[in-house]
Structure 1
Amino acid sequence: MFGIGGGELFFIILVVLMLFGSDKIPDIARALGKGMAQLKNATNEIKSEIQKGTQDAGLDMNTLTGGVSEEIAKAKEGITKMVNPLENINLDVQNPIEKVKEDIENITGPIKRQL
């Protein structure tokens, strides 16, 4: 959680208890919660204003970000193919290999049992 260990978190809680006392902590938490809610509402309002502005200007945010998302997906796919090229072998190649493996198992099965 934010790079804070258990001991550090315990120490922070202890310091807060010593500074404010146990009776003030619920009030502080309530005030922090209200502040976070106001901040979230403000950011949502800013986002909606930006979206309305782009729509009024004739721009569509989905098409603008869609191209970026597609390029990122293509880059990820290319990196995956470069890192592990055997992962994307065509099924036309995999099926005969599996068939040969089964044939070898069928042939060597009786031999293994006799030993």
Structure 2
Amino acid sequence: MFLFISGAEITFILFIAIMVFGADKLPEIARGLGKGMRVLKDATNDIKHEITKTAEKNGIDTSVTDDIKKELNQVKDDLEDFTGSIKRK
């Protein structure tokens, strides 16, 4: 699921991007966006690691967050199953 965007809408967006930036610039822009997303993901992972390391160092139980994450994922899956059945009708 890509933000509820259909194939025709993605095609239209790509067409507009080609018209604005030109076909020769699109790979360069995509590469830059990919690198930026990677840097953001790495920074987020570093922050998570630091928080976990500090919590363990100070004796804070981090297993609670794992339990909460499992529950949230279960609710998310149930909600997607429910909304998926509604969208099909």
State TM-score, norm by structure 1: 0.55
| Letter of the 1:39 counterpart | L
CA distance in 1, matches of 2:38, 2:52: 21
Q: Which of the two has higher C-alpha Rg?
A: 1
- Runs of 5+ in structure 2 lacking a partner? 76-89
Paired residue for 1:28?
29
How many corresponding residue pairs?
A: 71
Paired residue for 2:81?
none
SS at match of 1:18: helix
| Letter of the 1:56 counterpart | K
State TM-score, norm by structure 2: 0.70
CA distance in 2, matches of 1:57, 1:4: 45
Once the two structures are superposed, residues 65-96 of structure 1 have per-residue CA deviations (whole angstroms, 9 ceiling, x without a partner) of: 355478x5xxx9xxxxxxxxxxxxxxxxxxxx
Is 1:7 paired with 2:21?
A: no
Aligned residue runs from structure 1 range 1-115, under 5 A: 1-62=2-63, 64-65=64-65, 68=68, 72=71
- Runs of 5+ in structure 1 lacking a partner? 77-115
| Letter of the 1:21 counterpart | G
**Once superposed, what is the RMSD of the aligned Cα atoms?**
2.1
Residue 60 (structure 1) shift: 2.5
% identical equivalent positions:
45
CA distance in 2, matches of 1:52, 1:22: 46
CA distance in 2, matches of 1:65, 1:49: 15
CA distance in 2, matches of 1:69, 1:37: 23
